[in-house]
Structure 1
């Protein structure tokens, strides 16, 4: 196989360097429930039940719930985000790719059944700039201030209390 052209292109790209940045965040949380009860809540439709002020526009899903290749839009985190469910294994794994004007964010959620009525969830968030403004947003990002922990605490609260936990003011674009 002749790879002269692609090898040349890669060498040129390596010389220039990557113009955009990436930040990776990781959050792990233990829930007092089983994966089969937790996983359905990781869905744009069921998030209405537990996430304070949640709103989304479902673009495509045969079931109207989460499924592989479902697409929805939000203004909740970043204005004009489009989400695609890129990987889906019921009760185990869900991955979302979120794209907005300046950022692409891949969220990988993995659930581990602890076999004692609890579940450990691990969320890995890869945020990648698509523009110089995205670079600036990532530069200003403080991992300790990211809302994933706040959202997972709200999810845990819902699981334990069957009601929505109010989120701090201004944390999201709630309508």
Structure 2
């Protein structure tokens, strides 16, 4: 599962994921990889600060100028019969649009967001195909 936590490989399991730019020596996730994705009002810049495949851990900073700064961490752990992921997001507002975003990032929203993430990942791991948004 860990190799799928990559700006390039996420396109395999997230229908419609298409980073604009990926700057990386290896062409995929690694420490100091930088990538951009479409966002509003300007594109988001993602920076992989820690990439530890041997520990199943990745930390990414995502900056959407004038909106939010976000720290995303993903920690994988083996469990009987598979793997579980602990995913954390910490958003800091950078202005009025960020205030609205942070205000809407409720526990209920986050639970739904993570259920969608989990469904997409599990569908891909079972079928080898990305779950389409209209499915």
Are 1:110 and 2:75 counterparts? Answer: yes
Normalising by the residue count of structure 1, what TM-score does the alignment of the two structures yield? 0.68
Which runs of structure 2 are paired with 1:114-153 in the superposition (5 Å)?
114=79, 116-146=80-110, 147-153=113-119
- RMSD in angstroms over aligned alpha carbons? 2.1
- CA change 1:168–1:76 in 2 (3 A) is farther
Alpha carbons 1:58, 1:64 under 8 Å: kept: no
CA shift at 1:168, angstroms? 5.3
Q: Which deviations, in whole Å up to 9, do the C-alpha atoms of 1:6-62 show, x marking residues without a partner?
A: xxxxxxxxxxxxxxxxxxxxxxxxxxxxxxxx0000001011111111110234100
CA shift at 1:79, angstroms? 4.9
Alpha-carbon distance in structure 2 between the residues aligned to 1:41 and 1:69: 17
Aligned length: 131
- Unaligned stretches of 5+ residues in structure 2: none
Structure 1 residue runs of 4 or more that deviate by more than 2 Å after TM superposition:
76-79, 140-143, 145-149
Alpha-carbon distance in structure 1 between the residues aligned to 2:129 and 2:71: 28
Are 1:51 and 2:14 counterparts? Answer: yes
- Per the alignment, residue 156 of structure 1 pairs with 122
Task: Please say which of residues 121-130 and 73-82 is displaced more in the overlay.
Answer: 73-82
CA shift at 1:140, angstroms? 2.6
